[in-house]
A and B are shown apart, each in its own frame.
Chain A
Amino acid sequence: MTVPAIFETLQASVVGITITESTWMFPTIETIHVFALAVVLGSIAIVDLRLLGWASKGRPASALIHSMLPWTWAAFGLAVASGSLLFTSRAADYIALPAFNAKFVFMALAGLNMVVFHLVTQRNMAKWDTGKPATGARVAGALSLLFWGAIIVCGRQVGFSL
């Protein structure tokens, strides 16, 4: 696969070269990425399990989402920032990996699932907020767990490939 020149340029940038040549930067940024993804996945799973009606049943779904969402977004921001730095260090190599591309397909699907949930399913949340979740909510919870699981598997494969 031919790699677009922009990724070669990125890899050869000051940021890319500094990270590659340092012994401690890559593992340190990677560690930050692990913290971030743990909180992203964990906080999303806590909400998903509530949407499936499997856990946190004593707490209204809206209250749980309200409590978790700021952490999810903060951690997601950190994951994007740390992930971008890791990517920059070997951009041309990463972009050529099937697992790397698959990870972003699953991330797009997870994002789409979230948008549909917020725009459609959440509108009648008052009806099932404290009781048995609506079918749409259960489907959103299951799909979210599936997509985020796939993101982890792809991401780990990326780390294993280079």
Chain B
Amino acid sequence: MSFLDAVERTSLSQFMQNTNWTIPVIQSVHIMALALVFTSAAVVDMRLLGVTDRDQPLQRMTARFLPSVGWGVLTLLMTGLLLMVAEPKRALLNPYFQIKMAAVVAVCILTWMLAKAVHRHPDRWTRPDMRGRAKLIGGASLALWALIVVAGRWIAYGP
């Protein structure tokens, strides 16, 4: 607990707590990055599920949208870290935050593995015998991102 108290007393944390605009501005950037990440990931997931953009090769979709996911996640981590420094107890002791972070780790590993797999075997994923596995990956990714958004919003209502 003393570590969180120490974080709360840092000048950066104090500055964010004592100005009424810093937290909403950082949250706004966090939401914009979230929109970029969620939509970019969803576009790839929908392609894997075979719902949209079936005329587009999967590799083209991942090449276009997965870098956006990567840069967006980096922005989310940086803005998220600032929000944690501002209000460490609001986040770290919150069960919704813990669920969210577990899902973030899982989806990052899944996405990284997908990027590598598509890079190595670009045409494999659209083969009929791979359709089931592609749908499973797309569905799992979409479900994890949805969980992240839900848990993220509910941090504000945590115990």
- CA A38 – CA B32 in complex, angstroms? 8
User: By the criterion CB–CB under 8 Å, are B38 and A153 in contact?
Assistant: no
> Which residues of chain B from 133 to 159 have any CB-CB distance to chain A below 8 Å in the complex?
146, 149-150, 152-154, 156-157
- CA A87 – CA B53 in complex, angstroms? 36
Interface size bucket, B side?
A: 20 to 34
Stretch of B1-9, B21-29, B87-95 at the chain-chain interface: B21-29
> Which residues of chain A from 39 to 91 have any CB-CB distance to chain B below 8 Å in the complex?
39-43, 45-46, 55-56, 58-59, 67
User: By the criterion CB–CB under 8 Å, are A152 and B38 in contact?
Assistant: no
User: By the criterion CB–CB under 8 Å, are B153 and A34 in contact?
Assistant: yes
The yes or no answer to B98 lying at the interface (CB within 8 A) is no
Interface centre among A27, A38, A43 (most CB of B within 10 A): A38
**Dominant secondary structure of chain B at its interface with chain A:** helix
Chain A positions within 8 Å of B150 at CB level: 31
- CA A37 – CA B24 in complex, angstroms? 17
* Closest residue of B by beta carbon distance from A161: B24
User: By the criterion CB–CB under 8 Å, are A152 and B153 in contact?
Assistant: no
Stretch of B39-47, B99-107, B121-129 at the chain-chain interface: B39-47
Given contacts A30-B153, A31-B153, A58-B60, contact A39 B23 (CB under 8 A): no
User: By the criterion CB–CB under 8 Å, are B35 and A157 in contact?
Assistant: no
The yes or no answer to A35 lying at the interface (CB within 8 A) is yes
Chain B positions within 8 Å of A45 at CB level: 35-36, 39
Chain A positions within 8 Å of B43 at CB level: 46
- CA A149 – CA B48 in complex, angstroms? 30
User: By the criterion CB–CB under 8 Å, are A27 and B39 in contact?
Assistant: no
Set A31, A39, A59: member contacting B42, Cβ < 8 A:
A39
User: By the criterion CB–CB under 8 Å, are B36 and A56 in contact?
Assistant: no
The yes or no answer to A118 lying at the interface (CB within 8 A) is no
Set A30, A37, A67, A149: member contacting B52, Cβ < 8 A:
A67
User: By the criterion CB–CB under 8 Å, are B39 and A38 in contact?
Assistant: yes
The interface bits of chain A over 1-42 (1 if a CB of B lies within 8 angstroms of the residue's CB, else 0) are 000000000000000000000000001001100110111111
User: By the criterion CB–CB under 8 Å, are B153 and A27 in contact?
Assistant: yes
User: By the criterion CB–CB under 8 Å, are A152 and B149 in contact?
Assistant: no
Chain B nearest CB from A154 CB (Å) reads 9
10 smallest beta-carbon distances between A and B, as pairs: A42-B39, A41-B35, A38-B35, A42-B35, A38-B38, A160-B24, A156-B28, A153-B28, A31-B153, A27-B157
Which B positions have Cβ atoms within 8 angstroms of A?
23-25, 27-28, 31-32, 34-36, 38-40, 42-43, 52-53, 56, 60, 64, 68, 146, 149-150, 152-154, 156-157
